[in-house]
Amino acid sequence: MRNRIIAFAFIILAAACSRNAITGRKQMAFFNEADIQSMASDQYKQFLTTNKVIATTTSKDAEMVRRVGSKIATAITKYYTDQGLGKELEGYKWEYNLVDSKEVNAWCMPGGKIVVYSGLLPITQNEAALAAVMGHEIAHALAKHGNERMSQATVQQAGGIAVQVAVANKTPEAQNLFLNAFGVGSTLLGTLPFSRKHELEADRLGLMYAAMAGYNPQEAIALWERMEKASAGQKPPEFLSTHPSEGTRIEQLKKYMPEALKYYNSANSSKK
């Protein structure tokens, strides 16, 4: 009987693994993307009603967040449509909001629901660096990292068998799982629930997205240098952390830079 249960669990796990069209790698995804987007929309509305949203009509910073998000979304839509991957953006109804908070944080839920915390802006300092952060967060959503994290957590909690966590029912447990999976309660200077692989994947894709939108990707290097200074003494050694140190990220970003600069130069040459 035990062997049958184990075999059944492996069948479920195998069926739930599919190749991600954005990243090119196989990932575990138990949850339907449309269901996740629906829950994201509800959670986003709830978040906005319980937090102070800064209006674009009265704040240049809020308008900058909206402008950066809009430019990146437009660039991504064009790129993936040209690549025949337009279906990866099905259900995306982009929203961008700046929230009044001292937290150094930003996140993007499936469906393009984005929040930037005002505490992040003193570190980004300029529009291109903000684009690098927003591109990174959008990359987490498009690469379906949250779905993957929720699926992994479900396996851990249910032993790989009872995988039918009813997201649609929106129980407190399901909501907490959802919010934790998308980093809503975490800061960039703390421990995000994404793995090192997810973080570096989002770094690379986010850099490309910002560059496609016409933002200088080299600003991402200076951004992470500022992050490193801001987080000095606040983080454990890299081998104890779930995601890479700023030094590792900077090293990897430098490797990605030639590719990103091609997109940046192409985006700016088309404007002339």
Pick the catalytic residue from 95, 137, 199, 246. 137
* pTM of this structure: 0.81
The C-alpha atoms of residue 99 and residue 106 are separated, in whole angstroms, by: 9
Identify the band that residue 159 occupies on the pLDDT scale cut at 50, 70 and 90. very low
Residue with token string 């059944």: 8
Quick one: pLDDT at residue 243? 59
Domain for residue 4, yes or no?
no
The verdict on residue 229 lying in a domain is yes
Picking from 229, 218, 210, the residue whose alpha carbon sits closest to that of residue 267 is 210
Please name the residue that has the structure tokens 């990897």: 252
pLDDT for residue 244: 67
How many C-beta atoms surround the C-beta of residue 105 within 10 A?
24
Looking at residue 82, what is its pLDDT? Answer: 94
Task: Report yes or no: 53 and 99 within 8 Å, Cβ to Cβ.
Answer: yes
- Cα 67 to Cα 90, 97, 131: the distances in Å are 22, 11, 10
Residue 162 lies in a domain: yes
Residue-wise pLDDT for 104-141, tens only, equals: 889 999 999 999 999 999 999 999 999 999 999 999 99
Please indicate, yes or no, if residue 137 is contained in any of the structural domains: yes
Check whether 160 has a pLDDT greater than 60. Answer: no
Q: What integer is the mean pLDDT of 92-114? A: 94
Average pLDDT over residues 178-193: 53
Residue 212 within any structural domain of the chain: yes
DSSP letter assigned to residue 188:
T
CB atoms within 10 A of CB 83: 11
Domain span at 238: 24-269
Alpha helix locations (H) across 83-192? Answer: 121-124, 127-142, 145-158, 172-181
User: Would you say the C-alpha torsion 83, 88, 91, 96 has a positive or negative sign?
Assistant: negative
Distance CA 212, CA 230 (A): 28
Residue 19 lies in a domain: no
Q: pLDDT tens digit string along 218-269? A: 999 999 889 888 877 665 444 335 556 777 888 999 999 999 999 999 998 8
Tell me how many domains the chain contains: 1
Residue % of the chain over a pLDDT of 90: 49
Mean pLDDT for the stretch of residues 184-188: 51
Question: 9 lies in a domain?
Answer: no
148 assigned to active site: no
Asked whether residue 15 is domain-assigned, the answer is no
